Structures are given as C-alpha cells and as structure tokens.
Structure 1
Amino acid sequence: MVPQNHPVFDQPTMPMPPARRRGDNKLLVLAGIGGLILITAPIVAFSQASGPEPVVTEPGNPGVVPEVGNQPPRPVTVSPLPGGPAVVDNVRRLMLLARGQDNTVLRNFAVSASGAAPSGWTNLGGSAVGAPVGVRDGHGELAAFFVGTDGNLFYKYQAAQAQAPTTEWVNLKGAKLVGTPAVAPNAQGKLLVAARANDGTVRVIQQNQIGSDDWTEWSSPLPVFATGDLAIHRDAQGKLRIFGIGLDKKLWEVSETRLASNDWAPPANLGGTLFGVPSVAMDGQGRLCVFALGEDGSLMRIREADAASREWLGWQNLGHRLAGNPIAVPDARGTVMIYGLNEDGSLQEIWAESSDVKPVNHGGNIAELVGVAQDSTGRIYVYGIGKKGDMEGIHQTQPASGPWSNWSSELGGVFLPSGG
C-alpha cells in the first residue's frame, strides 16, 4: 500500500611533469612525450567511440586512485554510459549478457575488436529473475549484475575475464527485489545500483571503492514507488538521475544532490500518461532525453531544456506505435536513435530529433528486444530474441549510417522472452 503524501513512482595523475632540461636533453623529453602519445592515442580514440569520458579524481590526487598496499595507483576514466545487456568491454569486444531458459546468466562476446565471429555462449551461473546487465567501472573493468530468483542482487567483477565462469557471484542482498536492476558509474567511477522491490519501493546500493566487493548498506527506500523497471543515467554535470513510471502513470525523477553523494533530492513529477519501462539517452547538446510509451503504444519523448538543468520542455508524441519498450542510444554522431518493435516483430529505427522523419523498418521476426549498443567503431548493434527462441542480431555496416546487415541468428542459443 502506498503511504499517504508519498509521490507515486510507477517507474522514476596525472603524473608530475618531468623537470625541464636544457640543451640536447630537450630532444629526449620531446621524444618521450611523442612515444607516450602514440601509445595512448588508440585508447583515447576508443573512449570517444562511446562519447566523452571525463576523467574524475579522488580529492587531492587528480586522475588516479590512491595507492593500495604495493599496488600502483590506477587511472580513473568514467564511462558516460549506464549499464545494459550489451556493452563494450575493456578490450573493445562487444559483449552480450542474457538469461537462459534455466534462468542462468549467459555471456557471448558478440563481436571482437576485429569483427570476428561470436564466441559462443558461456554459462556464468546464477539464477536470474530478470535480465542481467553489464557496466564498466572507473577502472574500465566490466562488472555484471542480476536480481536473483531469491530476491537478492548479485554482482560479478571482471565479468569479461576468462576466469569469470569459475568466480562466485557476490550476494549484495536487497531482499524481495524484482525485475532488472539499473546500474551506472557515479562521477568517481564507483558503481551504483537502483532496484525495485516487490512492494514498489526503490532502493539503492553503492560501491565504497572502485572494483571492490565492499558496498554500502542498502538505502532506506527512496520516497518513490515503481511498478516497472527503472532507468538511470548521469547528467552533463555528472550527477546520477533515476527515472521510472509510477502508479499514477506519470514519469518520476530522482537526482543526486551532489556528485557521487548517494544523497537524493526530493522526486520530481515529470507528468505524462505512460506505461512500461522508460529509456534515457543524452543528446549532442548534453541534454537528457527520456522515451516511454503512451497508453496507446505511441512513442513519447520529454527532454531537458538545457544540459543538466532539470527543467523539462514537456511531452511530445513522436507518433510511432511500438509493441514493446523502446531502447534509446546515441549514434556515432551523437544523434539519439530509438529502437522498438512493430506488432509483426519487425525492428523500427526512429530518429528522435523530429517526428517528421519517417522511421526505417529493418525487418526481422523478433519477440523481444534484448539490447542495443555501439561497438568500438561506433556501429550500432541491435539484439533480440527471435520468435523461434534464438538470439538474433542486426547492425550498421558503417558508423552512424547504412546500409544495415541482414538479421543473423549466428549467436544461437534458446531463450524465453520475459514478456516485457
């Protein structure tokens, strides 16, 4: 029962520079700097494939994590993207996580950095009630999460590594959680998870250190209630924002009060008459855009007036009816694209900037979308469970452009749609 007067949330370093030398030693310094640039340039180029990745700092020590024991400090680079079933790992492979027929978590390296064939499904164990999600932390390592059939949240660090199948999942507790968790790195690169309990309350838990099994206690329920899965994204200032659709069918938002604080402002009612699960992306101007379905299945959009302003322009009906939850993602040019299914199972690609641009129908016979992501070159890949139960995929042949490939079932496997 929702307490009175509570808003209802149906789901809302840098190393010290070398001393300047005189004479011929200048040439040695320039050569060293040039070599460093050549080594780091590919890393920088990759980070930009997924958008800008601001370097954040520990207080008093820019650009590094403090030294622990005999381990040297590690650079902190925070991905701008929240977690999802499809994500690029720390060696540029596009990895896909999915829930198998027996509820175990399965992993497939869908695309390698060189574009090689999929790796095949590896069973990571566990017993998931919703979709598993992956996310990169402040060290660039890939972590995986799922809500278990026992109602607890489970976490695996370095989930992309070969030893991951033999590494036990860490039980982060939570009690009576349901659905798919929402996860993102905060402004310091520590991971934060927002999850929904079976009574609709929203709870959060956060790492105490990057890459650590040491986490905070679960927060007291945030003053919001949700009936569907949550969405999470950092804004242009680095604050985490949680979104969901409430029992009143309106979109609610909760924002951090300060960077990496795990302290939350009172929820804001963003209105609308919505259902399902919202999807959030940042446009090329740094504004958060939220997409959800109206009661008749029409695609609805609301976006910030300015970057990180928390002022919203109001809902716009983009006019396209979809048969499942939309997934929004920026392309290689920063243009936000939305992907969703028609009633016949074909894939719709919708340009978010204008309702005047006709959607592109990419065909297919898909029962449920699983994930959408850019690979390390900026090409968008879309994955879904086919109506025959296998995992199918389609992708751009060039970043931010077409033509697209044909649908492929080479990922294989047998899956059951969750029913949205």
Structure 2
Amino acid sequence: MRVAVIGTNYLGAAHAAGMAEFGHEVIGVDVDPTRVATLNAGRSTIFEEGLEPLLERHTSSGRLRFTTDYTEIADWAEVHFVCVGTPQSDTGAADLSQVRAAVETLGPLLTRPTVIAGKSTVPVGTAPQLQARFDELAPGAGVEVVWNPEFLRESHAVADTLRPDRIVIGTRSPDALATMRAVYAMPISENVPFVACDLATAELIKVAANAFLATKISFINAMAQMCQAAGGDVTLLADAIGYDKRIGREFLNAGLGFGGGCLPKDIAALSARANELGVTVLSELIGAVQDINADQRREIADLAIEALGGDATGRRVGVLGAAFKPGTDDTRNSPALTVATMLADAGASVRVFDPQASVVEVPGVEAAATVEECFDNSDVMLHLTEWPLFRQLDPAAFVTRVANPLLIDGRLKLDADLWRAAGWTVVQPGRAVRDERP
C-alpha cells in the first residue's frame, strides 16, 4: 500500500521506517527541511536503537523517502498517518496546533477517498472534530478519520513498531477498518492482538495506559518514602508484591519517578480533559500522582544537601545521567536534570555525564566530557539515569578520584555492597535497612 506519515520526529520516523519494513511504499512529510534531508540520507535525527539501520535500508531501496511538500502525499497515499507532536500547553491541556496545521494543509489537497489515521495523543473528542473539518475542506472526497494510538517506548521504538503488543483502531467505518487491517497485515498474521473500537475509546486507551503506569510508579515511590521512614527495603517489598499476578513486578522500580516527553504531558492533558468533562475524581487522582513524582525529585536533592552537611554552597556534585531514561538522548522532563538544577540552585557546582544526552542548555550545570571527569574531586556522586555503563564501573577505580566517597543511588540499580567494599558510603532511598549496614 501507499502510506504517508506526517511528522517525522520520535514517533513519525520510527513509524515510517516500520511501515516500509512491513512492505509498504512510504513518504514521510515534515516542515523541517534539515530533518527531511537527514532522513533522506538514511540517518536518524535522534538516538534510538536500531532506527538508523532501518532508515538506511529502506531509503536505499527506494521504499522510503521524505519531503516537505504535502502535494506529494495528498492523493498519492491510501492512508495518511498523523504523527505530529501534541505538547503540553500552559494550562496543562494538549496543544493541538500541530495536528490542526496538518489538517488545514492536507485537507484542501485531497480529492479521492483516503484514510486519515491519527497516532498523535489527543484529548478524547478530537477525532470527530477533525472528521468534521476534513468534510469541510474536502467535501465529497471520501475522507475517513480513524484513531490508531501509538504505544512506543523511547529506547524501544523500533521493536515496539515492528512487534507491537497490541494494535488499536477506533473508527465508525467498516471500509476504513478493513484498510487498517491491510496496513497491519504483517503483525496481525503474527497474532498481535487487534482491538477494533469506537473513536472515543481509542483516544482514551493511550492516556489510560500512561495514567495507570504513572500511578504504579508513584505508588512504589510513596512506599519507598514509607520504607525510608520505617526502616524497610522498598526493593524487597516490590519483589514480594510483584509476585501477585494481579499486580506484577513491572514498573515497580522505586527511584526518581517518571519523566520524558510523553507520560508527564499525557497525564496532565488527561487531567485537564477530565475536568472539562466533570470527572473530577480522575483529575484528583492524577494530581496526587504528579505530586508524588515531583516530591521524589526533591527527596533526592534534599538527600544530597543533607549529605553535604545541610549546605551545598560551593560543593562539587557529580551526576551520572542526564537523559530521562537509558537508551535515549531525550532530556525532556528529565528527573536527573531536575535534581541537578535543584542542586545548582542551592549553590553547588554540578557536573553531569551522560553517554548520549547533552546538557549544554541547563543553567548552572556543566557537562563532563568523560565519566572520570564527572567523579574528579566531587563531594557527592548521584546516580540518576540507569545506563548499563554506570553499573559496569569499578568503584575501587574511582574512590581516589573524589574528595568524599559518597554515592546516592537514586535509581537503586547499583551493587551497593560492591561499592561499600571499595570504601564508598552508599545511600539508596527507600532501602533504610541496607543503609544501616556497616
């Protein structure tokens, strides 16, 4: 089939490459000519495992190309995927300006039947509005809007595109549903669950999933604070309750909480829409989740300041990690950088090392060129993004580089016993029992 992908950043680039891998002819369109040129050269504009080889393979074969010109995709594509950003506005609601701009640009160019498949995360009720606008812009063309939410995890975008754990299609049109089944024929043939539903349910599924995951993360972080206060071990607690099949162990890792470009803004948008619809119980629940998440970052910063004797002024702090999670260079809403900024604001001299992410635009925070430089003469080290590289460090090799061998493991992923044996004092929030050991 002929498939167009509108928007080619994190979601769009992976989706376009995935559609080509499924055997379709694909054109990606983007307003950024620099990004388009880079993608046409088979190179990725982001760090995402496996994406660049996929782009290179299919741009070389001619199955995939990119353009800034909507006229090249309008009546060419049988399906147009909308993959543009929906960032958080000042009110917390989703900013749909990029979605609406795509509709206003594409709509007048359409003259034949086509399916518009929304993948961007939008407030419930958006799809019917877009359908009405396409009916105005392309009367009689036979445009059908469906909603096909994305469930990509950054650092796993390629795998999640090629081997999704479910495919959701919201539509009112049997013909459009048949078209989408044809688009996803390959994963459907591999028994990937296929959920056909109404538009509202499809729009809600993505934000419901994110809200549930955010709630689970905030719950275990609240329990980490309880364990710290009572003298317990949150990791053992999570292991034990995770054996309960009704709960499960995934997303029960205590630490700094969630961040990134999706979870925080998606749950904020869901809360805003819930308030608009009068479902205040949901917005109140999300508000509590957000408060716990913010508190967890402050907890780590306060632990560092406490470890420095209550005053961070002029002290040297090394931070391991800048990306919001390992496997990506994305620093949007990064818990690690939030903590680093808090410490810089408290007067500390903060250096951050990350193997992929840049920190050049973070006020008061200096980028370390190497992990060794990050340790040099530090009064306290903070482990805030769980890159495998940091778990592979030899603590004995670094104990003499620092002014004070004190480590705060904000992600609870390092081998505390190994670091202690090398002469480090290790603090793991929520593991007060372990912290008391000599």
TM-score range, shorter chain: under 0.3
Structure with the higher fraction of residues in helix conformation: 2
Structure with the higher fraction of residues in strand conformation: 1
Return the index of the structure with the highest Cα Rg: 2
Q: Normalising by structure 2, what TM-score?
A: 0.25
Q: Normalising by structure 1, what TM-score?
A: 0.26
